[in-house]
Amino acid sequence: MCPRNFLPYAIILAYGKLGYRINNMIKRKIWLKKIEELWLQRPIVWLAGVRRAGKTVLSQSLPNVDYFDCELPRVRSLMAEPEIFLQAHSGKRIVLDEIHRLDNPSELLKIAADHFPATKILATGSSSLSASAKFKDTLTGRKSQLWLTPMTFQDMRDFKKSALKHRFVFGGLPPFFMSSKLPETYFQEWIDAYWAKDIQELFRLERRASFQKFLELLMVQSGGIFQANSFSTPCGVSHTTIATYLRALEETYVAHVLRPFNTNKNSEIVSAPKVYMFDTGFVCYYRGIHAILPAQMGSMWEHYVLNELHAQLQIHNICYWRDKQGHEVDFVVERRGLSPIAIEAKWSSRDFEHTGLKAFADKYPKSQLFVVANDLSRPMIKTVAGVKVMFTGLKGLLARLG
Question: Averaged in consecutive runs of 10 residues, what is the pLDDT profile of the chain (402 residues)?
Answer: 35 35 70 97 94 94 95 94 95 94 89 95 82 65 92 95 94 94 89 91 86 97 94 94 93 95 74 94 96 95 98 93 94 89 96 95 95 94 94 94 80
What domains does the chain contain, in order, with CATH numbers?
8-148 (3.40.50.300), 154-401 (no CATH)
pTM for the model stands at 0.90
Count each helix (H run) and each strand (E run) in the chain, helices first: 17, 16
- What pLDDT score was predicted for residue 21? 39
Q: Which residues of 8-29 are buried (b: 16+ CB within 10 A; e: fewer)?
A: beebeeebeebebebeebbbbe
The sign of the dihedral angle between the CA atoms of 83, 85, 89, 92 is negative
pLDDT reported for residue 192: 94
Q: What is the DSSP string of 63-103?
A: TT-EEEETTSHHHHHHTSSHHHHHHHTTTSEEEEETGGGSS
Residue 204 region by backbone torsions, left for phi larger than 0, else alpha for psi between -120 and 50, else beta? left
DSSP conformation letters of 175-200: HHHT-SS--HHHHHHHHHHIIIIIIH
Query: What is the four-CA torsion angle of 23, 24, 27, 28, rounded to 10 degrees?
Result: -20
State the pairing for strand pair 224-225/143-147: unpaired
**CB of 331 within 8 A of CB of 258?**
yes
Taking each helix axis as running N to C, give the angle between helix 394-401 and helix 297-313, from 0 to 180 degrees, rounded to the nearest 10.
30
User: What span, in angstroms and rounded, lies between the C-alpha atoms of 172 and 302?
Assistant: 14
Give the DSSP H/E element, type plus range, for residue 357: helix 355-363
Contact 190, 172 (CB under 8 A): no
For residue 116, the model assigns a pLDDT of 96
